[in-house]
Amino acid sequence: MITRTLGTGGPDVSAIGLGCMGLSHGYGQAVADQDGIALIRAAVDQGVTFFDTAQIYGPFTNEDLVGKALAPVRDDVVIATKFGFSFDGSQITGLDSRPENIRATVEDSLRRLDVDSIDLLYQHRVDPEVPIEEVAGTVKELVEAGKVKHFGLSEAGVDVIRRAHAVQPVAALQSEYSLWWREPEEHILPTLLELGIGLVPYSPLGKGFLTGAIRSTTSFGESDLRGSLPRFTEEARAANQALVDLLTAVAARKGTTTAQIALAWLLAQHPSIVPIPGTSKIHRLQENTGAADVALTPQDLKEITDAADQVDVSGDRYPEHMQRWINR
């Protein structure tokens, strides 16, 4: 696996990371611990060195799982986690990036991950009640104390990125970005390139839609978040199929899979972009990591981008109660 550096001062990581959320949260029943550990260790064997988790995944159980799985190779991998929510037991009650909550929950993350230092610590969502300067200043203290190595933001807007970066250098922004959601290209990505900040796209395969495995007739289980997303209604999926058909045609010509084309397109956008597709299946893991070896020509990229420009993606990506947590 080739490696990339997140921004100008961030960690060196595999060109494709592993988003671990779906092993515990969001896409139906959590996998058994032994299966999750096996999947994560298979990723290590595939050359993956960048693993993404968060306090909210589970909540909490995903950090435990990632910590157990990576304990034997701790010094060879980069582990990212996130803070920024409040909990009543295991129930999420809202946003909370107060300095005292950051400090307390980071201690919990260190314990669950069984590490001395968190490689990359993101604010999961911008908290409008806490100035970002206070948040960045608190993380700066944690960096100086050796408990955190790099600071990141998630789904933050340009103003917040600039203000945070002025207090504590931001190594990476995590944001949804794919051929299905290209909003970061307008303002976010140019700002990151200007400041030397890496971009870590989550849902780089459109929560599975860009793999071609999801059709308008696909049904989702009660605990699968996609069943509540406007972009995954039956009508929206039918309307958005044109984008998948485009990727499928390019994949057939290149002798790859649809998912690999979608990931290779992302990798080609800039050398400091590191997508983190998630999966619970070994064969999908192998498929995703194989995208790092897919070479798209300038003509391929132009064809994909020009065609995607013509597809008017249907459906909001989140319902209103989730969208309010995203700061632009």
Which sequence positions are flagged as catalytic? Answer: 57
Show Cβ contacts of residue 306 under 8 Å, excluding neighbours closer than 6 positions.
none
Tokens representing 196?
């030397």
> At 133, is the secondary structure helix, strand, or coil?
helix
> Can you name the residues that pair with 181 across neighbouring β-strands?
178
Q: First-to-last CA distance in the chain?
A: 33
Q: Which helix (H) or strand (E) element contains residue 67?
A: helix 61-70
Please name the amino acid found at residue 16.
Answer: I
Q: Which helix (H) or strand (E) element contains residue 252?
A: helix 234-254
Report the alpha-carbon distance of residue 232 to residue 203 in Å, rounded. Answer: 14
Report the alpha-carbon distance of residue 199 to residue 227 in Å, rounded. Answer: 27
> Can you name the residues that pair with 87 across neighbouring β-strands?
92
